């Protein structure tokens, strides 16, 4: 973040940047939420300074899961990095595969066959469904709903993970997409199973909404809480459902029209208030839009090749140059920036992780709210530490 940017955030205006202030104010309580805490989605820490239960300072601390992902990718071949991308946002390995494969395809000038594009869209939208479902489930868990919504969400997620397992052999670490296509074709009967899962999914959404969407406690806990103004969201580089909940119409599926997304009829739900309730509802509505895309894709998919014949698995050396491929991952803009010097390994490999960049506005959203709200606001950002720390 640049200096001018910092000056415009509410956090900077509060003037709690000086850590020594804590010593003078004996009434303030500094606690460390995490890295071992039930609601930090992994090994994440928030250094919180509390006045009573009101947050006056919040410092996100991460890096506990740093695995040197980018450097490892630079010292190995392009192909060998695909399993590593699974482990970035381990909830959405197929989206990660796609973003990486897309940037390599740009670098090497490969053309993806139509069937493979359809499979990618289906895989990515199924990923979005299960990611949003579990995000909302965890959010409710953090609000104290004692596991019920979470288990309902996980029941649906299981069905989608079953599809992934049938398709890729793995439930979470899919390692499925390749440069120029996909690793294997759809197994027999997979499309019918997928259609069945997609057809059953709205029932879960209806059930979930009737359970919670008009619950007074939920409304009171979420409306007007953790407001992210659109201006700050844009300045902070926030993307994904959080940005759209703040009312900014920015969906890379619509902006870039990458893959074959221009063939599908779907809309982008937009929030107005940018609070926790909007971020929750936008995810619910996005799931319904994803179902529309899936319906169309599962109808339209036709037989055909799944790999670009020009794509080479062994001895893959893209010509020198650079490329940036980005997709709308469930969490926001996921991009891979690659520089090739003509060798089998990328010269530079850089990930633009939505989880990390969305996290930068955490303090601004949390200041002035209570400790209980902090946990909920943090839950709506929807981070995965594998992607934050890399």
Partner 1 sequence: MTALSYNSLHHSSPQAADQIFVIVQHWIVGHAPVGLQPLLAILLSVVAIVGGFGLLFAITTILERKGLGRIQNRYGPNRVGFFGSLQPIADAIKSLTKEDIVPQTADKLVHLLAPILLVLAAFSVYAVLPVGRNMVLVNLDAGVLFFFAIGSVTEVAVFMAGWSSRNKYSLLGAMRAIAQMISYEVPLILSSLTVIMATGSLSTVSIVEKQAGYTGILPHWFIFTPWGFAGFVLFMIAATAESNRSPFDLPEGESEIIAGYYIEYSGFKFALFFLGEYLGMFAISGLAITLFLGGWNAPLPFLTWVPSYLWFFAKLLTLIVAFIWVRGTLPRLRMDQLMNFAWKFMLPMALLNLITAAVWHFMPAGPVRWLVSIVLVVVPYTVLGRNQMHKGHLEKRVYRFAE
Contact 293/266 with Cβ under 8 angstroms?
yes
> What gap in Å lies between CA 310 and CA 304, rounded to an integer?
16
C-beta of 283: minimal distance to partner 1 in Å? 12
C-alpha 168/C-alpha 162 separation (Å) is 10
Q: Least CB distance from residue 354 to partner 1, whole Å? A: 20
Q: Which of 18/265 has CB closer to partner 1?
A: 265
Q: What are phi and psi of 328, to 5 degrees?
A: -90, 90
337: left (phi over 0), alpha (psi -120 to 50) or beta: beta
Closest distance between partner 1 and the C-beta of residue 380, in Å? 14
Contact 252, 258 (CB under 8 A): yes
Determine the distance from the C-alpha atom of residue 354 to the mean position of all C-alpha atoms in its chain, rounded to a whole number.
6
Residue 335, helix vs strand vs coil: strand
In terms of phi and psi (left: phi > 0; alpha: psi -120 to 50; beta: otherwise), the region of 28 is beta
Output 46 or 99, the one with its CB closest to partner 1.
46
Residue among 87 and 128 whose Cβ is closer to partner 1? 128
93 close to 86: Cβ distance less than 8 angstroms: yes
CB of 60 to partner 1, least distance (A): 17
Cβ-based neighbour number of residue 96 at 10 Å: 29
The least distance separating partner 1 from the CB of residue 363, rounded to whole angstroms, comes to: 18
Smallest separation (angstroms) from partner 1 to the CB of 212? 8
Contact residues for partner 1 (CB under 8 A)? 29, 31, 37-39, 50, 53, 140-148, 150-152, 155, 211-221, 223-224, 249, 251, 254, 267-273, 277-278, 281-282, 285, 370-373, 375
Phi then psi for 57, rounded to 5 degrees? -155, 140
- Return the number of the residue (176 or 277) whose C-beta is nearest partner 1: 277
Which of 43/191 has CB closer to partner 1? 43
Q: Based on CB atoms, which residue is closest to partner 1, 161 or 270? A: 270
Nearer to partner 1, 210 or 343 (CB): 210
Closest contact distance (angstroms) between CB of 274 and partner 1 is 12
Sequence-distant (≥ 6) Cβ neighbours of residue 7 within 8 angstroms? none
């Amino acid at each position: 973040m640049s200096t001018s940017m910092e000056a415009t955030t509410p956090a900077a205006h509060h003037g709690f940047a000086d850590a020594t202030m804590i010593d003078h104010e004996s009434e303030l309580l500094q606690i460390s939420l995490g890295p071992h805490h039930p609601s930090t989605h992994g090994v994440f820490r928030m250094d919180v300074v509390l006045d009573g239960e009101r947050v006056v300072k919040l410092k996100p601390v991460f890096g506990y899961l740093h695995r040197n992902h980018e450097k490892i990718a630079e010292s190995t071949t392009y192909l060998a990095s695909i399993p590593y991308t699974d482990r970035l946002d381990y909830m959405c390995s197929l989206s990660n595969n796609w973003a990486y494969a897309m940037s390599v395809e740009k670098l090497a000038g490969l053309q993806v066959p139509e069937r493979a594009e359809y499979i990618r869209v289906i895989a990515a939208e199924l990923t979005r469904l299960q990611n949003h479902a579990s995000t909302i489930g965890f959010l409710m868990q953090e609000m104290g709903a004692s596991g019920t919504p979470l288990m309902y969400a996980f029941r649906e997620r299981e069905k989608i993970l079953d599809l992934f397992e049938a398709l890729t052999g793995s439930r979470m670490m899919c390692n499925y997409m390749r440069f120029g296509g996909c690793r294997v074709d759809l197994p027999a009967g997979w499309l019918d199973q997928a259609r069945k899962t997609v057809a059953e999914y709205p029932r879960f959404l209806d059930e979930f909404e009737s359970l919670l969407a008009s619950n007074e406690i939920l409304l009171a806990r979420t409306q007007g809480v953790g407001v992210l103004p659109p201006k700050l969201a844009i300045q902070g580089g926030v993307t994904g459902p959080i940005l759209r909940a703040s009312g900014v119409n920015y969906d890379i599926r619509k902006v870039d029209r990458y893959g074959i997304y221009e063939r599908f009829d779907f809309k982008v739900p937009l929030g107005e208030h940018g609070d926790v309730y909007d971020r929750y509802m936008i995810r619910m509505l996005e799931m319904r839009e994803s179902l529309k895309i899936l319906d169309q894709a599962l109808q339209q998919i036709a037989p055909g090749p799944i790999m670009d014949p020009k794509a080479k698995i062994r001895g893959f050396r893209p010509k020198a140059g650079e490329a940036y491929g980005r997709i709308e991952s469930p969490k926001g803009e996921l991009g891979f920036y690659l520089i090739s010097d003509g060798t089998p390994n990328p010269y530079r490999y850089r990930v633009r992780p939505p989880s990390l960049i969305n996290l930068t506005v955490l303090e601004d959203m949390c200041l002035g709210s209570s400790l209980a709200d902090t946990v909920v606001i943090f839950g709506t950002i929807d981070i995965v530490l594998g992607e934050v720390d890399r």
